[in-house]
Chain A
Amino acid sequence: MNAPSSTIEAVATVAVAEFTPADRAAIDRSLRLPVLFLFASATGWLLLAILLGFIASLKLQSPEFLGNLSWLTYGRVWPAYFDAFVYGWAIPSGLGAALWMIARVNGIVMGRPLVPVIATLVWNIGVATGILEILAGNSQGFQFFEFPRYVAAILFISYALIAAWAAVMQSEGGAAKDSVSCWYFSAALLWFPWLLGAAYLLLTVSHVSGVMQSLVAAWFAQNLIGLWFVSVGLGVIYYLIPKVTGRPIYSRQLALLGFWSFALFWGWTSSTRLTGGPLPVWVITVGIGASILMLIPVAAVAANFSMTLQGNFQKIASEPSVRFAGFAAAAWVAASFLSIVTSLRSVDHVTHFTQVSIGVTHLFIFAFYSMAIFGAMYYIIPRLLGREWLRAEFIQWHFWGAAYGIGLMVFLLILSGINQGFAWDDPENYKSNVAVTDAFMSFLRVGGLAWLLLIASSVLLAHVEEETKP
C-alpha cells in the first residue's frame, strides 16, 4: 500500500453512482412496497419488544408485579423480549435496508413485489406465533432459539422465499458491482439460512446429546450476532458514510482485510460464551484465541471508517443518517473491544454469569446494529416515498432518546454485572444469595429510565414514519 491515492482511485467508481435519476427512481418504485412493509412491521415489533423488555425489567425489580400471570412470568417475558427484538425487528429491518442498498448499488429494478410482501407477512405470522408460544410455555430452552421447531421452519421458509426472490432479481439485473457493503450483505443473506438450518437440524431433528446442545446453541447465538447483526450493520455503515460524505471508502485493501479476517475468525469465538463450562478445555481456548484475533478486523474496519470520515466529521452533526451511522460505528468498536476483553479467562471469571454479557449483547444489537438501521431508514424512506421527512426535529429527538437510552442501559448493565460478579465472589456474601442480588439490583433499579427513553424514542420513530406517508 505505497500510495493511498491510487487506492482511492481504484474504488472511486464504486462509491459514485453511475445511474441516472430516472434509473434510481425506477429502482425505488420497484422496492417501495416490500421495503416499506419490512420497515413498518419491524418498527411495530421494535415497540412491542421494548415493552416486553420493560416489563421484564420491572419484574426483576418487583417480582410480585403481575406475579400471578403464568404468561408473563420473568423467565418467559425475558426470552420473548429478545426474540421479538431479533426476529421481529432486527432481521426484517436489516433485510429491508440490505435489499434496497443491493438494488441501488447494482442498478436492479426488482420485479414481482408481491413475493417478498407475502413472504414478509408469513415471517411476521411466524414471529407472532413464536412469541405467543414462548409466553404460553412452549420454549425450546436455547438462547435465541426458543421458538418451537415448526415456527423455526416457518421462518426458514419465508426467509428462503425472500432470498430466492432477491437472487433471481439480481441474476436478471445483470453484472454485480464490486462494493464493500454488498460483500457484507451477500454474506449475511447466505450465512443466516445456513445458520438457522444447521441449528434446526442439530437441536430439534438429530438431537445432539449432552453438552453438545449447549455448544450448538452457543454457536448459533454467537453467529446470529456476528453473521447477521455485525455483517448487516457494517454493510449499512459502509454504504452510508461514502454516500453522505461524497467520498469513496478510504482503502479497499483495509476493507478486504476487515471483511475476510472477520469471516474467518468470528465463528470460532462461539465457545467463549461457555468459558469455564463443562467442555473440553481446548474448545474454550480456541474460542479465546479467535476472540483476540478479532482485533484485526476491528482495527481494520475502524481505521477505514475514520479515514473515510476524516475532515468530514461535521456531516455527523448535519446529516441524520450519518449521525446514526457514526454512533453505530463507535458502538461497534466498543462492543467488539468489550467482547474481546471479557473473553479472557481472568476477566471472564468475574463477568461470566452476570449482566455484563447482557450489556455487551445490547451494545451489539441496539447501540450498534439498531442505530445503523435507523440511519439507513432515515436515508431510504424519503427516497422510496419521493418526499422529505416532515419534521427533522423529531429525528433529532429520536436520535438523542435512543442514544441516551441505550447508553444508560449498557452502562448500568455493565456496572451492575461487575458488581454482581464480585458480589458472588465475596466471602462476606457466602451465606446469602440476597446480598448478591441487592448488590447488582441497586444499579438496575435506575434502568427503568433507560427503558422509558427507548420506548419514547421508538414511538417517535413510528410516528415519523407514519406521518411521512403520502
Chain B
Amino acid sequence: MKRLPLFFTGVFATFALAWLGVVAVPQAQLRNLQPQIDEDNTTDVYPVNVGGVADQGRRVFVANGCVSCHSQQLRGAGTVDAERGWGNRRTVPLDYIYGQPVELGLMRNGPDLTNIGVRQPNAEWHYLHLYNPRAVTPGSIMPPFRFLFEKRKISGARSADALYLSGVDALPDGYEMVPTPDAKALVGYLLSRDKSHPLKEIKASREGASK
C-alpha cells in the first residue's frame, strides 16, 4: 500500500469518531446526574442507594445470568410494559445511578423485573418460586435454583425461614429446606427493585407521548 499512513489514520479516526459520539459525549451528558428531591412536603430523595443485602444479591443475580431472560427497563405508558402492570412510567438514566453492574437486559424470555419488589413484595413467594418455579407458576420455563437452598435435619425447633414445601417437593419428616445466604441476598435484591417513584423530568416531557 502506497498510502499506508493515510490508511491507518483513517482506521484510527473512524474508530475514535464513533467512540466520541457513542461513548464520550453521552458520558459527559450523564456523568453528573443527581438524585431528585421532591418539592412536596415529603422532600423524599430518589433514587436511594440501598446497598447492603441488595448489593450482595445483585452479585447472585449476575452470577446466575438472570439477565439472560429478564430485563430491568421499561418503555413507558402506552406500551405493553405499562399494560402488563410492570410499571406505569418509562425508566430514565436517573433510575440507574446506583449499583454496579447495571443489568438493563436485552431479552424477555420472562417478565421484566424493574419493579418486581413492588409487584411481588412477598419474600416467601420468591423463595418458593426460586426453589421450584413450576410449583408457583405452572408451565414456567424458569430454571430451578434449588442449589441456593440447603436441606437440613431439624434439630430442636423448625427454622423460622424454612420453606413450606408441599406436593412433589415435600421433604421427609424431620428435615427442612432453608435458604442459603445467597438466596436471602438474591431475594433481598429482588425486593429492592422499585423504580415506581414519580419523576419530575417525565411529567415535564408529558409521559405517554414518548415510546
Binding site for B on A (CB under 8 A): 59-61, 63-64, 67-70, 73-76, 78-79, 137-143, 176-178, 182-183, 186-187, 190-191, 194, 198, 202-203, 207-216, 219, 223, 227, 260, 263-264, 266-268, 270-271, 273-274, 276-281, 283, 286-287, 345, 349, 353-354, 357-358, 420, 424-425, 427, 430, 433-434, 437-438, 441
- On chain A, the residues within 8 Å of B79 by CB distance are 349
Closest Cβ–Cβ distance, residue A227 to chain B (whole Å): 8
Closest Cβ–Cβ distance, residue B100 to chain A (whole Å): 6
Interface residues of B in 136-181 (CB under 8 A from A): 137-147
> Are B96's CB and A68's CB within 8 A?
no
Closest Cβ–Cβ distance, residue B1 to chain A (whole Å): 5
Q: How far is the CA of A422 from the CA of B18 in the complex (A)?
A: 33
Find the A residue at minimum CB distance from B144.
A67
Assess whether B45 is interfacial by the CB under 8 Å rule. Answer: no
> Are A212's CB and B30's CB within 8 A?
yes
- On chain B, the residues within 8 Å of A286 by CB distance are 21-22
Q: How far is the CA of A266 from the CA of B22 in the complex (A)?
A: 11
Q: A194-B15, A267-B18 are in contact. Are A60 and B90 (CB under 8 A)?
A: no
Assess whether B55 is interfacial by the CB under 8 Å rule. Answer: no
Find the B residue at minimum CB distance from A216.
B23
Interface size bucket, B side? 35 or more
Binding site for A on B (CB under 8 A): 1-2, 4, 7-8, 10-12, 14-15, 17-19, 21-23, 26-27, 29-31, 33, 62-69, 71, 73, 75, 79-80, 83-85, 90-93, 95-98, 100-111, 133-134, 137-147, 210-211
Closest Cβ–Cβ distance, residue B210 to chain A (whole Å): 8
> Are B102's CB and A211's CB within 8 A?
yes
- On chain A, the residues within 8 Å of B29 by CB distance are 280
Q: How far is the CA of A287 from the CA of B25 in the complex (A)?
A: 14
Residue A219 contacts which of B22, B33, B106 (CB distance < 8 angstroms)? B22
Q: A63-B142, A276-B211 are in contact. Are A207 and B100 (CB under 8 A)?
A: yes
Closest Cβ–Cβ distance, residue A268 to chain B (whole Å): 5
> Are A210's CB and B97's CB within 8 A?
yes
> Are B10's CB and A260's CB within 8 A?
yes
> Are B138's CB and A74's CB within 8 A?
no
Q: A141-B101, A277-B73 are in contact. Are A191 and B11 (CB under 8 A)?
A: yes
> Are B143's CB and A74's CB within 8 A?
yes
Most buried by B among A75, A260, A281, A427: A75
> Are B7's CB and A186's CB within 8 A?
yes
> Are A278's CB and B15's CB within 8 A?
no
Q: A68-B144, A69-B147, A75-B68 are in contact. Are A142 and B139 (CB under 8 A)?
A: no
- On chain B, the residues within 8 Å of A67 by CB distance are 143-144, 146
Q: How far is the CA of A394 from the CA of B98 in the complex (A)?
A: 55
> Are A210's CB and B211's CB within 8 A?
no
> Are A215's CB and B73's CB within 8 A?
no
Q: A141-B62, A210-B102 are in contact. Are A177 and B1 (CB under 8 A)?
A: yes
Most buried by B among A187, A227, A277: A277
> Are B111's CB and A278's CB within 8 A?
no
- On chain B, the residues within 8 Å of A438 by CB distance are 139
Closest Cβ–Cβ distance, residue A285 to chain B (whole Å): 12
- On chain A, the residues within 8 Å of B27 by CB distance are 208, 212
- On chain B, the residues within 8 Å of A194 by CB distance are 15
> Are B108's CB and A354's CB within 8 A?
yes
Residue A183 contacts which of B7, B15, B90 (CB distance < 8 angstroms)? B7
> Are B103's CB and A178's CB within 8 A?
no
Residue B71 contacts which of A191, A219, A268, A353 (CB distance < 8 angstroms)? A353
Find the B residue at minimum CB distance from A191.
B15
Q: A142-B101, A283-B26 are in contact. Are A63 and B144 (CB under 8 A)?
A: yes
Q: How far is the CA of A424 from the CA of B80 in the complex (A)?
A: 7
Q: A210-B93, A211-B30 are in contact. Are A433 and B100 (CB under 8 A)?
A: no
Q: How far is the CA of A238 from the CA of B77 in the complex (A)?
A: 48
Find the A residue at minimum CB distance from B133.
A63
Most buried by B among A70, A210, A270, A441: A210
Q: A186-B11, A434-B138 are in contact. Are A357 and B106 (CB under 8 A)?
A: yes
- On chain B, the residues within 8 Å of A273 by CB distance are 106
> Are A434's CB and B93's CB within 8 A?
no
